[in-house]
């Protein structure tokens, strides 16, 4: 894809990793559709920073875990463009508690936002991508493949997300649409503060990580940029792990 006249939709694009992804794609000639849930002040701040870098930005409030909301979001996108070059699904939601204590509501929220949303977003984006092809990238986490305390609802939903990436990759390849994911280790964002025993988790992560530090949102954004770019043209249906080497031990 050329850096000129690109149209990119980013779910959960105003905070943390999503914000870093938004800013990494904010260059002249790019139009960004930045979805957020409810924090308008943070979204406006991300919009301002991205526009200062030369991008055109449209903020789209809505819960991507709700199929009706996704349809409404893409009605707005279609009024602005007849083409979409890339879809990044970063939005995530869930509770931090043991699986044995999960309510059905907790389970449903995580699956809806973290996994089902990739399906409904991809289906909504497909008519805008079919003509010229495009890229779809989902953001996952290591909890999809290995046990993490108090992370069951989110980890299980991320496992579903990664499997959906593989199915979409095969089915959308004839339309010249490449689908992949990126998975991070412990990334230093505001959401970490909500995690039980986060101090202990950070210390354990650092002691086992060859990279010697926590991840930064920009670390994941750089991998997303690679998957959106031309140099990843032979990669289909993969989840690239960027965790400083934590998963090696």
Has residue 19 been placed in a domain? yes
Has residue 247 been placed in a domain? no
Domain that holds residue 139: 6-241
Has residue 125 been placed in a domain? yes
Has residue 248 been placed in a domain? no
* Burial classification of residue 77, based on how many CB atoms lie within 10 Å of its CB (0-12 exposed, 13-18 middle, 19 or more buried): buried
Task: Indicate if 147 belongs to the active site.
Answer: no
Has residue 249 been placed in a domain? no
What pLDDT is recorded for position 2?
46
Non-local (6+) Cβ contacts of 144 within 8 A are: 155, 156, 158, 159, 161, 162, 183, 239
What pLDDT is recorded for position 4?
67
pTM comes to 0.96
Residue with structure tokens 């995530």? 92
Has residue 75 been placed in a domain? yes
Task: Indicate if 151 belongs to the active site.
Answer: yes
CB 161 within 8 A of CB 138: yes
Has residue 1 been placed in a domain? no
What pLDDT is recorded for position 201?
84
* CATH code, domain carrying 133: 3.40.50.720
Residue with structure tokens 């809505």? 62
Q: Which of these is catalytic: 116, 158, 202, 236?
A: 158
- C-alpha torsion 167→170→172→177, nearest 10: 110
In the chain, the number of structural domains is: 1
What pLDDT is recorded for position 136?
98
Q: Which of these is catalytic: 6, 36, 151, 246?
A: 151
Q: With b meaning 16 or more CB within 10 Å and e meaning fewer, what string describes 122-132?
A: bebbbebbbee
Has residue 16 been placed in a domain? yes
Q: What is the pLDDT along the chain (249 residues), one digit of tens a residue?
A: 444 699 999 999 999 999 999 999 999 999 999 999 999 999 999 999 999 999 999 999 999 999 999 999 999 999 999 999 999 999 999 999 999 999 999 999 999 999 999 999 999 999 999 989 999 999 999 999 998 888 999 999 999 999 999 999 999 999 999 999 999 989 998 887 787 888 888 898 899 999 999 999 999 999 999 999 999 999 999 999 999 999 998
């Amino acid at each position: 894809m050329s850096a000129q006249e690109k149209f990119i939709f980013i779910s959960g694009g105003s905070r943390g990793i999503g914000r870093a992804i938004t800013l990494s794609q904010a260059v002249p000639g790019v139009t960004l559709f930045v979805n957020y849930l409810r924090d308008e002040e943070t979204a406006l701040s991300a919009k301002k920073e991205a526009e200062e870098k030369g991008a055109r930005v449209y903020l789209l409030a809505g819960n991507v875990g709700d199929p009706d909301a996704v349809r409404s979001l893409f009605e707005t996108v279609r009024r602005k463009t007849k083409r979409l070059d890339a879809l990044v699904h970063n939005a995530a939601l869930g509770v931090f508690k043991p699986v044995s204590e999960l309510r059905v509501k907790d389970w449903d929220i995580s699956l809806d936002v973290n996994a089902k949303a990739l399906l409904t977003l991809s289906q909504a984006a497909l008519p805008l991508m079919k003509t010229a092809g495009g890229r779809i990238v989902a953001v996952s986490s290591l909890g999809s493949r290995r046990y993490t305390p108090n992370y069951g609802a989110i980890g299980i939903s991320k496992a579903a997300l990664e499997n959906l990436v593989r199915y979409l990759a095969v089915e959308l390849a004839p339309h010249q649409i490449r689908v992949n994911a990126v998975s991070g280790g412990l990334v230093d964002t505001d959401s970490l503060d909500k995690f039980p025993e986060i101090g202990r988790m950070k210390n354990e992560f650092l002691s086992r990580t060859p990279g010697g530090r926590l991840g930064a949102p920009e670390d994941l954004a750089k991998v997303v940029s690679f998957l959106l770019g031309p140099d990843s043209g032979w990669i289909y249906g993969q989840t690239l792990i960027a965790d400083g080497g934590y998963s090696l031990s």
